[in-house]
Structure 1
Amino acid sequence: MKDFTKELTYKTSRSSGAGGQNVNKVETSVTVMWNVAESEAFSIEGKELIFERLKNRINSDGILQLTVSESRTQLQNKKIATERILQIVKKALFIPKSRKPTKPSRSKIEKRIKAKKELSQKKENRRFRTE
């Protein structure tokens, strides 16, 4: 995967929720934005794949947006946001290997049938025991 961190833009805002005085005066929440359509890091096919797999996260302007307000520091939230957006795009570009159907070998089939016959014979011998 190509590095597109230079294309990311960041916006800060005040975090919501508990935090006391710190939350009211410091902009620790970080929103990272990436314009997928205008990205130069990926080919047209790569962009199409990203658009297809992340259509619920990309807005009408073609911007992938993510907000993080986990940490108390802006720097830490920026780092987390960058890592997350890279992870999301990496996951979207992942193409799983296609499964090739295989057939069990003749020896394995014979071994399985032999084991079934032995078990069947064992159970059959239990049924007709006369004492």
Structure 2
Amino acid sequence: MTSEKGLRIAPGVEVGEDELDENFIRSSGPGGQNVNKVATAVQLRFDVVNSPGLPERVRERALHFAGQRATKDGVIVIEASRFRTQEQNRADARERLTELLARAAEPPPKPRKKTRPSKGSVERRLKEKAGRSGVKKMRGKVTSE
């Protein structure tokens, strides 16, 4: 969600407007002659490491989810050039940043506990396999003795 103050990601997680740095660059792709004249693509930069509105665990997870979009200095760079207008690309870039930070704000999933099959279920499985094996062996060639 976008507000006058910036982006509201989740309860207790907000990004101020002054923390977002937008540069408009020339876009590749469709647009005809316009593509060579107007800078419609948006390059949105967000300094995750120095953001006061993010808790520490959200910062770490955001950098992890950003992958190659994050620089060594901890800045997430999102380029949006899907649309032909600056406004649409700007909204697209902000939406993608919001989604990434919302994913980072979610609590991590609980680790999986290893389980073992019960002794009875193992015995039943092996008995079933032996039974199948016997059925298949009986399908062999018929010999007259």
The verdict on a shared fold, with TM-score over 0.5 as the criterion, is yes
Say if 1:50 and 1:92, in contact at 8 Å, map to a contact too.
yes
- The equivalent residue for 1:19 is 31
- The equivalent residue for 1:102 is 115
Name the structure with the higher helix share. 1
TM-score by length of 2: 0.68
Amino acid at match of 1:23: V
Name the structure with the higher strand share. 2
Moved more, 62-71 or 15-24: 15-24
Q: Which ranges of structure 1 fall in alignment gaps of 5 or more residues?
A: none
Q: Does 1:111 align with 2:124?
A: yes
Say if 1:28 and 1:74, in contact at 8 Å, map to a contact too.
yes
Query: What is the SS of the residue equivalent to 1:39?
Result: coil
Q: Which ranges of structure 2 fall in alignment gaps of 5 or more residues?
A: 1-9
* 1:67-112 CA-partner distances (Å, limit 9, x unpaired): 1112101111112111222333445566343121111134422321
Query: What is the SS of the residue equivalent to 2:69?
Result: coil
* Percent of pairs with identical residues: 36
- The equivalent residue for 1:80 is 92
Say if 1:54 and 1:92, in contact at 8 Å, map to a contact too.
no
Give RMSD over aligned pairs.
Answer: 2.9
Indicate how the Cα distance of structure 1 residues 38 and 113 shifts in structure 2: closer, same or farther if over 3 A, else same. Answer: same
Distance (whole Å) between structure 2 residues aligned to residue 54 and residue 97 of structure 1: 21
